Structure 1
Amino acid sequence: MYICFGTESYRMNEFAERLVAAVAEPEHRDMAIVRFDTAEHSLDVILEEAETMPFLVPSKLVLVRDSVVFGSAKESAKTEHRPERLLEYMRRPFETTVLVFMVPHDKLDERKKTSKAAKQDGIVVNFSPLGPDELLQWISGRAAKQGRTLDRPAAEELIRRAGTEMGALSAETDKLCLHAGEGGTVTAAAVAELVPAGVEQSVFKLTEEIASLRTDKAIALYHDLLRRREEPIKLTALLVRQFRSMLYVKELGKQGYSPQQMAGQLGMHPYGVKVTADQAKAFSIERLTALLGGLAELDYEMKTGRVDKTLGLELWLLRTGSGAGMKV
């Protein structure tokens, strides 16, 4: 029996797939794999299945998506759970069943007896996001398993372009490995050429250009986003989020928070915290506050029709080039 929790859904699903492969051959999986959701199925129904002998296979896997029994979500009125029934099962699990609860939250509800019992039994598996170095090593390791070399600069460029979601990173890494060929090397230049930057990653780059007072590059990047039919109001909101994240990271850093603690506090990936902290070094708290104030005013003017949306954001970018992005 396993209780899996964490916000890194890719790793959790990968763990579940490994269990599926270990329990049954592909042709027998319809009989060996059963899925439930505690939002729709009671513990009595789930445990009745867990305590039923497998049919025509030596063992079976019961996968349960859960936010109620081990998480802190409220119980649905239509589904009643009896946790004492689960506690009884945990003391004597069925030998031919692998029962797995998958809780997509950053922590278990430790007030609950079920969570306390699971921790005491040592059956809890944490799937929190990988740290910055771990994520870079994971990308390089995925390439190495395919007989390719992908060094740290290439991995960093990949994250800059694809973000930190591991499903997207795995797909892009596989594509880059295919392009490199057997025994080949994936370079940062190849990543820049083959992996298109997402909108959020482009906005992150935009804030870098603002910090360095490279107005021409900021405007060119903005025009590229417009060609991709991105809405100026949406881009303004993303700029606000990025500058606000920088402000929070600076404030929490002054209070002695570690990057991991910041990630939990802000709901960000640890690697995102690292690069945001690095980027925030180019801004003072006063300058970030001023930029956020200017963006709030711009957002109001765009939404009330006082300024043309496309022109308004471009003028704001031009004004930042006059010194608003400098560190003071």
Structure 2
Amino acid sequence: MMPAKTSEFKAKHKDIMQDINAESFKHCYLVYGEEAYLRNQVRDELKKALLGSGDSMNMSRYEGKDINIAEVIDMAETMPFFAPRRVIVIEESGLFKSGCPELADYLKSPSETAYFLIVESSVDKRKDVFKAANSGGITIECDTPDIAELRMWAARRLKNNGFMTTESTVNFFFERVGTDMSNASNELEKIICYCQGRDTVMVEDVDAVCANWLSNQIFAMTDAIVEHNQKKAMDLYYDLLALREPPQKILALIFRQFNIMLQVKEMVDNHKDKGSIASAVHLAPFIVGKYINWSRSYTTANLKSCLELCVESDEAYKSGKLDDVISVEMIIVKCSAKPSQG
């Protein structure tokens, strides 16, 4: 069983596995939460069990926000074809956030042969449709496990494939790939393939195989800011927030980018060569070339203004005057705007 953030997931998952093993199912299973990897795992376990040896013709799948509920209910009322169950799969409908009285009413008294498997990233527990699913079935929340449980999961995954590892290696792995379980699972699979023929996974293996994915995303965002690509910068920022990157960490990296640009611009203005600049800011010469190009589209005053904005935003957040997410949004919008050349 996969790790989970709270004991509630473990208890609910245990209940689901008991239903599966006993082949005695509730008429509704609602799988929800932010961790797509866990949502998909529970969904696939239930889908396979509910269909059993039956044909997939007895499964109807509905996805997206334009679902016709009357059509869904009609299908639920249709007898299955040479099978004990008709399986209705609903994914990312938004109905469990916006509400759906028709589905709520139906879930209170569904057809004896209708079994609902509903998967949503976000729900509102106050809605009647959620309460109906919870009352007549099992609702299970899939959040990203905390880092300690993620480490246990990764170490267990490696051990099950014949590999020993150390705590420091596992720590380095998550620093490298982030805490998104889908991405981490893919990276673990790469490590397992890379280390075939050995029985230990080391830091060097992680370094050799795993792309520094989260850092790449962060730097792509800061690159977009200094290239004045506002839409790309904002899209990448929201992606990073979805991966639970702290806004203050992102702010620190934005500050770093503009600080380096200011240093580079001042050295260029003082006729320093690229090698000297690279040595002074501790970056490779080819990377310094990018900073030189970027700095040309800013005046020294522009760069100082961006740095002051970062400092003010940090102070406003720490004093409780400004939300951390919004404070970084404001910086991205202002710093990615085309600067005046006055």
Q: Secondary structure at the match of 1:70?
A: helix
Say whether the 8 Å CA contact 1:64–1:102 is kept in structure 2.
yes
The 5-angstrom pairing of residues 120-199 of structure 1 reads 120-121=135-136, 123-181=138-196, 184-198=199-213, 199=216
Aligned equivalents of 1:165 and 1:159: distance in 2?
A: 9
Say whether the 8 Å CA contact 1:33–1:60 is kept in structure 2.
yes
Q: Secondary structure at the match of 2:60?
A: strand
Q: Which residue of 2 aligns with 1:304?
A: 339
Q: Secondary structure at the match of 2:98?
A: coil
Q: Which residue of 1 aligns with 2:119?
A: 102
Structure 1 residue 24: Cα displacement: 3.5
Say whether the 8 Å CA contact 1:60–1:98 is kept in structure 2.
yes
* Aligned residue among 34, 40, 60 for 1:13: 40
Percent identity over paired residues: 20
Aligned equivalents of 1:189 and 1:4: distance in 2?
A: 38
Structure 1 residue 168: Cα displacement: 1.4
Q: Secondary structure at the match of 2:144?
A: coil
Structure 1 residue 207: Cα displacement: 4.5
Say whether the 8 Å CA contact 1:60–1:96 is kept in structure 2.
yes
Q: Secondary structure at the match of 1:125?
A: strand
Say whether the 8 Å CA contact 2:47–2:117 is kept in structure 1.
no
Say whether the 8 Å CA contact 1:31–1:57 is kept in structure 2.
no
Structure 1 residue 51: Cα displacement: 2.6
Deviations 1:210-259 (A, max 9, x none): 6xx999696437955988xxx899xx9xx99xx79x9499839x99xxxx
Deviations 1:257-285 (A, max 9, x none): xxxxx9xx959xxxxxxxxxxxxxxxxxx
Structure 1 residue 159: Cα displacement: 2.2
Say whether the 8 Å CA contact 2:194–2:209 is kept in structure 1.
no
Q: Which residue of 1 aligns with 2:283?
A: 220
- Greater C-alpha radius of gyration: 2
Provide the TM-score with structure 2 as the length reference.
0.57
Deviations 1:292-316 (A, max 9, x none): 98x988655xx33749xxxxxxxxx
Cα RMSD of the aligned pairs, angstroms, is 4.6
Amino acid at match of 1:304: P
Aligned equivalents of 1:154 and 1:146: distance in 2?
A: 16
Amino acid at match of 1:220: L
* Aligned residue among 79, 87, 102 for 2:104: 87
Amino acid at match of 2:81: F
Aligned equivalents of 2:279 and 2:93: distance in 1?
A: 48
Aligned equivalents of 1:185 and 1:20: distance in 2?
A: 36
The 5-angstrom pairing of residues 1-328 of structure 1 reads 1-24=28-51, 30-37=56-63, 39-72=65-98, 83=101, 85-105=102-122, 108-121=123-136, 123-181=138-196, 184-198=199-213, 199-200=216-217, 207=253, 219-220=282-283, 223=286, 247=314, 251=318, 299=336, 303-304=338-339, 306=341
Aligned equivalents of 1:101 and 1:222: distance in 2?
A: 53
Structure 1 residue 141: Cα displacement: 2.3
Amino acid at match of 1:13: N
Q: Secondary structure at the match of 2:212?
A: coil
Aligned residue pairs: how many?
251
Q: Secondary structure at the match of 1:149?
A: coil
Aligned equivalents of 1:47 and 1:186: distance in 2?
A: 51
Aligned equivalents of 1:3 and 1:248: distance in 2?
A: 42
Say whether the 8 Å CA contact 2:29–2:118 is kept in structure 1.
yes
Structure 1 residue 61: Cα displacement: 2.6
Structure 1 residue 71: Cα displacement: 0.9
Amino acid at match of 1:16: R
Aligned equivalents of 2:145 and 2:90: distance in 1?
A: 24
Structure 1 residue 173: Cα displacement: 0.1
Deviations 1:97-144 (A, max 9, x none): 330221212xx2233212233344462110122212122222222222
Structure 1 regions of 5+ residues with no counterpart?
74-80, 256-261, 268-287, 308-328
Deviations 1:36-79 (A, max 9, x none): 13622222211222232222334343210244421138xxxxxx
